[in-house]
Amino acid sequence: MQILIIEDETKIAHILRQGLMEDSYSVDLAKDGEEGWEKVMINSYDLIIMDIMLPKMDGFTLCKKIREKNIHTPILMLTARDAIEDKIEGLDAGADDYVTKPFSFTEISARIRALLRRGNKTEPVILQLADLVLNPATKEVKRNNRNLNLTAREYALLEYFMRNPNTVLSKTRLLEHVWDYQYEGLSNIVETYIKYLRQKLKTDKSSHELIHTVRGLGYILKTKAN
Ligand code: CA
């Protein structure tokens, strides 16, 4: 799941980024409204966090522009003060929720989970494919009732596959949604992590392959090879 943070205050942006990365999200940063707009046009994010007071283009204007483009990505606004007018204006502009600064990371984290759930109403609470079960709330993964011990990145990769089963996912798409922006271009990292994940998914000799290579296109998570 990839999140864009649009915030000109470097310190806040970095604290947020650090916390979100620890929560296994992939994070992209923009330092003003125009840069945020450009990134939203180029990439497909799963959620956007934006400050209201931004250089070049303020959060209200940016939010309206995004909604005018029919982009429905959940938007969480950061308001500098507890001003009710800001909240109303933000929601009118198309934001889904807001958090008042100073905020606790725990609060942001809970709001994000709620927005991601709301953003995809058909999304099941527990993700399952054959004997593979993933619980996004506890980040537990089981295959054939046995717990898999995954690293944060392996988990994020598997979660993305399980949210998009039976779909060919290109290396570029996986890099965008699972890794951070600065890794762009390092497609070897995808191959490496697919290898790790396949090893961990092989809980015993008879367990069949779930992540299949589609030559020249990418990878697909499905139960059968054909
Ligand atoms: Ca600001």
| pLDDT, tens digit, 9 for 90 and up, residues 39-81 | 999 988 999 999 999 999 999 999 999 988 888 899 999 987 6
CA torsion angle for 106, 111, 169, 211 (degrees, to 10)?
50
Instruction: Report how far ligand 1's centroid is from the alpha carbon of 68 (Å).
Output: 23
* Type and span of the H or E element at 199: helix 188-201
Count of domains forming the chain: 2
Instruction: Report how far ligand 1's centroid is from the alpha carbon of 147 (Å).
Output: 43
Domain co-membership, 111 together with 7: yes
Instruction: Report how far ligand 1's centroid is from the alpha carbon of 30 (Å).
Output: 11
Domain co-membership, 19 together with 99: yes
Instruction: Report how far ligand 1's centroid is from the alpha carbon of 130 (Å).
Output: 46
Inter-axis angle of helices 171-178 and 152-163, nearest 10: 120
134, with CB counted inside 10 A (0-12, 13-18, 19+), is buried
Give the residues across from 4 on adjacent strands: 28, 48
Instruction: Report how far ligand 1's centroid is from the alpha carbon of 50 (Å).
Output: 9
Between CA 85 and CA 191 the distance in angstroms is 49
Domain co-membership, 51 together with 109: yes
Instruction: Report how far ligand 1's centroid is from the alpha carbon of 52 (Å).
Output: 6
Between CA 195 and CA 26 the distance in angstroms is 20
Instruction: Report how far ligand 1's centroid is from the alpha carbon of 21 (Å).
Output: 21
Give, in order, the Cα–Cα distances in Å from 78 to each of 103, 121, 148, 225. 9, 24, 37, 46
CATH code, domain with 161: 1.10.10.10
Instruction: Report how far ligand 1's centroid is from the alpha carbon of 120 (Å).
Output: 29
Mean pLDDT by 10 residues, the chain (226 residues): 94 91 91 96 92 93 91 88 71 84 86 79 71 88 93 92 91 81 67 94 86 94 76
Instruction: Report how far ligand 1's centroid is from the alpha carbon of 142 (Å).
Output: 42
Domain span holding position 142: 127-221
Domain co-membership, 59 together with 84: yes
